[in-house]
Amino acid sequence: MGAIRFNIAAVERDTGLSKDVLRMWERRYGFPVPDRGANGERGYPPDQVERLRLIKRLMDAGHRPGKLMATPLAELATLAPRRKGIPEPAGRPAAGELDELLRLIKQHDVAGYQQAMQQRLARQGLQRFVQDTVAPLTSRVGEDWERGAFEVFEEHLFTELTKRLLRQAVAALPTGPRAPRILLTSAPDEPHVLGLLMAEAMFALEGAECIPLGTQMPLRDISRAALAHRADIVALSFSTAFPQRQIPALLRPLRAALPEEVALWVGGGGIRWVADVPGVKRLLTLEEATSALLEWQAVSR
């Protein structure tokens, strides 16, 4: 008798993870690793189903799947208790407030979402709006999409509406001679733009001159643009969807191509577990990005 295997429909029912999510994780993370039958149908062994079940519970508790995939099963079982009882950070929106904003997107209520976000921007001001609303909301959307609770078109709707609002807010800020000059873009195959827009808003509020080049810029063109614009800093954003193992291999040649006096800063959820690269400043949060800018300004005065 052959070993027990569960088909993808059974795994979906058992774990609460959709078939699309299971296939996406297989491509992106190399787990799960199902067998293939004669007709190509996936078959999942019991130990993988148990691991998937545990990963789903930990995701519901707030963990991100990318980190969980690389964690041994014995360690996974110890993670959930440590997450219990952690209070919401001071000054951050309660989960219910984010849930309401997400509900408007899920209901495809464009006008309602825009109105709610504009009201929050007016009430919080741009800095708190970025830190306390847009950043955690973007994280929630990414988590919900990874576990199959958000459709692709809903994630795109959220991105487009939020992007439009941030650009309008940044455009309304004062202009004129400012410093430093920061060139903002992303590497090839990195299409996510919200991280760049959040950074641009925070930098502009502190008096920087931001030069936005959009996303997916070839490395050679990034270095050429830095020279053409006489940039003091090149800032890149990597989302959690970007393959982390590729990031150092991109940063090293870019650092070598830039003049020594041009700083290279990187931020976004994708760099959290990436090793340091010489000559590259990692900024894990928006607060760290603001601090780095203020430090640059203090030294350069």
Residues 150-207: pLDDT tens digits? 888 999 999 999 999 999 999 998 776 688 999 999 999 999 999 999 999 999 999 9
What is the chain's alpha carbon radius of gyration, rounded to the nearest angstrom?
21
For 296, residues 6+ apart whose C-beta sits below 8 A from its C-beta are 180, 232, 233, 263
Tell me: the pLDDT tens digits for 42-83?
Answer: 998 888 888 888 888 787 666 777 778 878 777 777 775 443
Q: Check: pTM over 0.75? Answer yes or no.
A: no
CA atoms within 13 A on the CB side of 55: 29
Tell me: the pLDDT tens digits for 1-21?
Answer: 346 788 888 888 778 788 888
> Is the CATH code 3.40.50.2000 the one for domain 95-169?
no
pLDDT of residue 90: 43
* Fold adopted by 176-300: Rossmann fold (3.40.50)
pLDDT of residue 86: 37
pLDDT at 84 over 80: no
Report how far residue 25's alpha carbon sits from residue 66's, in angstroms, rounded to the nearest whole number: 9
Per domain, the residue ranges of the chain are 6-83, 95-169, 176-300
Mean pLDDT of 100-129: 94
pLDDT of residue 185: 97
Q: Which CATH class is domain 6-83?
A: mainly alpha
